[in-house]
Chains A and B, each alone.
Chain A
């Protein structure tokens, strides 16, 4: 158990809809990262937050947004969903923004129909 909690585990929704994925980092970790894993793309970095502030951005679509709250949990919002957004979404946390190892949750599997 990595200590990172993601909810929900599974989500099925229709195209055009909006969903929110939630992540609780390990106790004491200040950094939260979001990754997307689809069959044809592998693990892709989306965005990182450190202590409530956006720290780095990857290939995150404009339809997607995230935030980290004062209690350090994070949410990833996906809107105007398309079939291609179907994927596993992983959250990870680390102590800081440096080379601390990332600890991943077990992901949210999103299916867009």
Chain B
């Protein structure tokens, strides 16, 4: 699976959009980009995933660059409850690979 690089930590003001970047410059054509988050030692929570196109659901939007070498997770109106570690993972489940978590980005939403 492609290695992903994320900033170690970020701050965001409550009510503003949180834009979390992820670099996956060695991603292959069959690898999807998944985002999960983990709130303070709770179980990780699935947020969104995509292959090429931008995706949106009730939690967030995922913007993937045309060359697929990077992506951005957007939380449109961050709340204090969005404070968590966010994991960006690129993997090819069709190859029988497992979801592998890296260090993630610790997002702190501040009042």
Across the two chains, which residue of chain A brings its CB closest to B34? A101
Q: How many residues of A contact B (CB 8 A)?
A: 23
Q: Contact flags (1/0) for A25-68 with B, using CB distance below 8 Å?
A: 00000000101000000110100100000001010000000000
Q: Which residues of A contact B36 (CB under 8 A)?
A: 102
Q: How many residues of B contact A (CB 8 A)?
A: 20
Contact A45:B41 (CB < 8 A) given known A99-B93, A101-B46, A103-B46? no
Contact assessment for A102 and B96 in the assembled complex, using a CB-CB cutoff below 8 Å: no
Contact assessment for B101 and A98 in the assembled complex, using a CB-CB cutoff below 8 Å: no
DSSP majority for the B interface? loop
CA distance A13 to B79 in the complex (A): 38
Across the two chains, which residue of chain B brings its CB closest to A2? B43
Contact assessment for B49 and A101 in the assembled complex, using a CB-CB cutoff below 8 Å: yes
- Which residues of B (37-63) have their CB < 8 Å from a CB of A? 38, 41-46, 49
Contact A56:B98 (CB < 8 A) given known A101-B49, A102-B46? yes
Q: Which residues of A contact B46 (CB under 8 A)?
A: 101-103
* CB of A43, distance to nearest CB on chain B (Å): 4
* CB of B20, distance to nearest CB on chain A (Å): 18
* B99 beta carbon closer than 8 Å to chain A: yes
* CB of B64, distance to nearest CB on chain A (Å): 15
* CB of A99, distance to nearest CB on chain B (Å): 4
Partner of B43, one of A58, A101, A104: A104
* B102 beta carbon closer than 8 Å to chain A: yes
B positions within 8 Å CB-CB of A: 32, 34, 36, 38, 41-46, 49, 93-94, 96, 98-103
3 A-B pairs with the lowest CB-CB distances in the bound complex, closest first: A104-B43, A43-B101, A101-B46
A positions within 8 Å CB-CB of B: 2, 4, 33, 35, 42-43, 45, 48, 56, 58, 88, 90, 92, 97-99, 101-107
Could you jot down 23 A-B contacts, CB within 8 Å? A2-B45, A35-B101, A42-B103, A45-B99, A48-B98, A58-B98, A88-B41, A90-B43, A90-B44, A92-B44, A99-B32, A99-B49, A99-B93, A99-B94, A101-B49, A102-B44, A102-B46, A102-B99, A103-B46, A104-B43, A104-B44, A104-B45, A107-B41
